[in-house]
Amino acid sequence: MLSRRSFLRSGMSAATIGVLAKHGISIASASDAGDGIGGSGGLGLDRTRPFHRVPLHPESTMVDGLPFANWFTGDRFSNESVPFHNCENCVDPPAPTEEIDIAIVGGGISGLSTAYLLREHNPVVLEFRPRFGGVAQGEIWGSTRYSLGNAYVITPDSGSFLESFYNEMGLPGVVRVHSGEDLIEVGGKILDDFWSGSAKSPKDQLAYQRYAEVVTRMAEENYPEIPLIEGKDNQWILELDSKTFRQDIEDQMGMEVPPLLAGAIQAYCYSSFCAGWEEISAASGWNFLAAEEFGRWVCPGGMAYMSHVLWNKLSQLDKNVPAANRPHHLRAGCMVVDVRLVGKNRVQVAYIDARNELRSLLAKRVVMCCPKFLCKYIQTDLERLDTPKWDAMHQFGTRAYLVANVLLDTPVDLDFYDVFLVGDEHFPMTDGEAEDGSRVVDMLSGHYARRREGRRSVLTLYWPLPFDTGRFTLIMNEPWQTYASSLVPQIKQMLAMLKVPVSAVRQVRMTRWGHSLPLATPGLIASGAVDEIRRPFEGRVFYVNQDNWALPAVENCLLDAEIFTPQIAAGL
């Protein structure tokens, strides 16, 4: 490991490249970026859009009879290396070359929405990937947009901040609202009456009825609002947070959940939380599952659509910036490696730009819109300066998942949004079983929100890895070949269920997300760990991210952005 002094002596650019390569981190090189790198070191704006256009006839590699894109999209790191686990900030930052009001670390929806709410203060957003959007990126194939990660938002309450924000983003004009029950696959057949339990024994029918009653009650009478609403009596939510989701479901039902129903609930938990119902908090579980009763807003391309709108609005800020200094507000290919307090009222931010050069800026406020597993490494000396926050950050876990988009040269006759793939009564119910039997758990219609019929369609498949070592399966032992080979029989079975010929597959595109979903374990909210996580650091460093509440929800990004942006702007 290079010491800080050795790092400087060895030559800044060379050492930077060496340290990053050692840990498997790929930053766009000058040759990759071409002439589009501006004075800020960020990639040219046109290359940083959240949507990437795929050729109509993309080049493929055949795997057991199906054409696959030649590598993963999503997280970019080398095999057998996991980024941000060691020494990414073992640098001595150079002297700052600019001073700004607000620096935002992370260009996913958290960072973009925070920047949008603070747009009058000319925020600078630093994103280490080549494209903005974080896990809310997407692709365009022909006229079809589809998601590489985040898929939807819950229908907002009338008069709420979320409704107002979505209106500003133009979502009502493009969304397709999905309401009602999801379809369930059992034994290779897609069922539209699974949740009624009508085909079950009298005892099981009673269980299905009681489960439906509990879901309705939690949605209509006892919905646990997260983020917690200040000034309300939230004690009951804290008590709910101390229980597991399974425990509360069975307590409220007054009986054990039958195996097939348990498998369907587990499939939902794996899909939404990347964790089983015995691993997650009851408050978090109901916050998600009961909210589905309100309906879902599905945009073309999922939440990449919102990323795109935010990116487009923020890119307009550069109109008043000299051409030589663009991009100024949106800087992609810029990985922040060090954030530290300077003096009494400034924060220094060091980042490696798209030319692999280390540079620094000074900001009055910094907003950490990246996951907490990054914050704890990037913020220099945090362990000494704020031990409670440091300790709380180490209580948060993350889980990995893979998304596969199947591009089809044919329409799909079945009009559906989501099919949970349960299989049979032997659905994996423990992390050990999940690790041994890891597979796709739900199949979405990636073209669901498309406004007009087309001759092409997309299936978006979510493959959660609900075990702690899951991320390593995405980077070790020929991961692309392993996952492609494992996907082929699953895809063929899904196509058979939908009566779509295998010959209609134009390409399968796999996207890996190695540290994506925060683990909503019981007690995180009740213990006060969430309060420590969210608390601003010295009034200069703020935190806005979906993992503020350990919930993988777009809504939480936006709600905490609303809460903290007035505090961030105060005094500027």
Q: What is the CATH number of the domain that holds 49?
A: 3.50.50.60
509/67 Cα distance (integer angstroms)? 9
A 10 A CB-CB count for 564 gives: 20
User: Which residues lie closer than 8 Å to 37 by C-beta, 6 or more apart?
Assistant: 30, 43, 44, 333, 353, 354, 355
Number of domains into which the chain is organized: 2
How far CA 13 is from CA of 18, 25, 93, 196, 408, in Å, comes to: 9, 14, 12, 62, 44
How far CA 204 is from CA of 258, 260, 261, 264, 310, in Å, comes to: 6, 10, 9, 14, 47
Q: Are residues 433 and 403 part of one domain? A: yes
Q: Does the residue 307 lie in any domain?
A: yes
Q: Are residues 295 and 348 part of one domain? A: no
Q: Does the residue 66 lie in any domain?
A: no
3-state helix, strand, coil in the chain (%, to 5): 35, 25, 40
Q: Are residues 150 and 97 part of one domain? A: no
Q: Are residues 323 and 410 part of one domain? A: no
Q: Are residues 506 and 420 part of one domain? A: yes
DSSP of 75-94, one letter per residue?
S-B-TT--TTSS-TT-S-PP
80 pLDDT band, cuts 50/70/90, is: low
99/104 Cα distance (integer angstroms)? 13
Q: Does the residue 170 lie in any domain?
A: yes
Look up residue 543 and give its two tokens.
Answer: 């935190």
A 10 A CB-CB count for 79 gives: 12
Whole-angstrom Cα Rg for the chain: 23
- The residue range of the domain holding 453 is 145-301+397-518
442/427 Cα distance (integer angstroms)? 13
150/462 Cα distance (integer angstroms)? 10
User: Which residues lie closer than 8 Å to 271 by C-beta, 6 or more apart?
Assistant: 420, 441, 442, 462, 464
CA angle 101, 106, 109 (to 5 degrees): 105
106/123 Cα distance (integer angstroms)? 12
Q: Does the residue 496 lie in any domain?
A: yes
Q: Are residues 228 and 355 part of one domain? A: no
Q: What is the pLDDT of residues 161-195, one digit of tens each?
A: 999 999 999 999 999 999 988 899 999 999 998 98
What pLDDT is recorded for position 89? 56
Q: Which amino acid is at 124?
A: V
Q: Are residues 315 and 213 part of one domain? A: no
Report which of 250, 305, 242 is spatially closest to residue 451, judged by C-alpha positions.
305
Given 518, 535, 554, which residue is the final one in a domain?
518
Q: Per-residue pLDDT averaged across 134-161, rounded?
A: 97
Look up residue 42 and give its two tokens.
Answer: 């960020």
Q: Does the residue 156 lie in any domain?
A: yes
Question: For residues 338 and 380, is the Cβ–Cβ distance under 8 A?
Answer: yes
Q: How much is the mean pLDDT over the chain?
A: 91
Q: How many residues does the chain have?
A: 572
Question: For residues 552 and 516, is the Cβ–Cβ distance under 8 A?
Answer: yes
Q: What is the pLDDT of residues 525-540, one digit of tens each?
A: 999 999 999 999 999 9
Question: For residues 303 and 153, is the Cβ–Cβ distance under 8 A?
Answer: yes
Enclosing H/E stretch for 477:
none
Q: What is the pLDDT of residues 23-71, one digit of tens each?
A: 333 334 333 334 478 889 999 999 999 999 999 999 999 999 999 999 9
Residue 88 has pLDDT above 70, yes or no: no
8/16 Cα distance (integer angstroms)? 10
Q: Is 399 exposed, middle or buried (0-12, 13-18, 19+ CB in 10 A)?
A: buried
Report the DSSP pairing between strands 153-154 and 296-298.
antiparallel
> Out of 12-16, 223-227, 483-487, which region has the weakest mean confidence (pLDDT)?
12-16
The pTM of this model reads 0.92
Q: Per-residue pLDDT averaged across 392-416, rounded?
A: 96
Q: What is the pLDDT of residues 319-338, one digit of tens each?
A: 999 999 999 999 999 999 99
Q: Are residues 390 and 263 part of one domain? A: no
What pLDDT is recorded for position 226? 95
Q: Does the residue 79 lie in any domain?
A: no
Q: What is the pLDDT of residues 473-525, one digit of tens each?
A: 999 889 999 999 999 999 999 999 999 999 999 999 999 999 899 999 999 99
Report which of 109, 106, 114 is spatially closest to residue 562, judged by C-alpha positions.
114
Dihedral over Cα of 276, 279, 285, 288: its sign: negative
314/119 Cα distance (integer angstroms)? 7
172/245 Cα distance (integer angstroms)? 33
Q: What is the pLDDT of residues 330-360, one digit of tens each?
A: 999 999 999 999 999 999 999 999 999 999 9
20/351 Cα distance (integer angstroms)? 12
Q: Is 198 exposed, middle or buried (0-12, 13-18, 19+ CB in 10 A)?
A: exposed
Q: Per-residue pLDDT averaged across 236-246, rounded?
A: 98
What pLDDT is recorded for position 77? 73
Query: Cα(first)–Cα(last) distance of the chain, in Å?
Result: 39
Q: Are residues 360 and 406 part of one domain? A: no
Residue 156 C-beta-side C-alpha neighbours within 13 Å: 18
Report the DSSP pairing between strands 138-141 and 176-178.
unpaired
Report which of 466, 478, 446 is spatially closest to residue 520, judged by C-alpha positions.
466
Q: Does the residue 58 lie in any domain?
A: no
What pLDDT is recorded for position 571? 84
302/148 Cα distance (integer angstroms)? 8
52/73 Cα distance (integer angstroms)? 11
Three-class DSSP category at 50: coil
Look up residue 329 and give its two tokens.
Answer: 């507000």
What pLDDT is recorded for position 87? 55
Q: Are residues 454 and 392 part of one domain? A: no
User: How far, in whole angstroms, is CA 529 from its chain's centroid?
Assistant: 21
Look up residue 214 and give its two tokens.
Answer: 């509990």
Q: Does the residue 98 lie in any domain?
A: yes
CATH number at residue 483: 3.90.660.50
DSSP of 421-461, one letter per residue?
EEESTT---SHHHHHHT----EEEETTTT-SS--S-EEEEE
Given 518, 538, 555, which residue is the final one in a domain?
518
CA angle 532, 536, 542 (to 5 degrees): 120
Q: Are residues 311 and 297 part of one domain? A: no
Residue 20 has pLDDT above 50, yes or no: no
- Residue linked to tokens 């591009």: 407
Q: Are residues 326 and 234 part of one domain? A: no
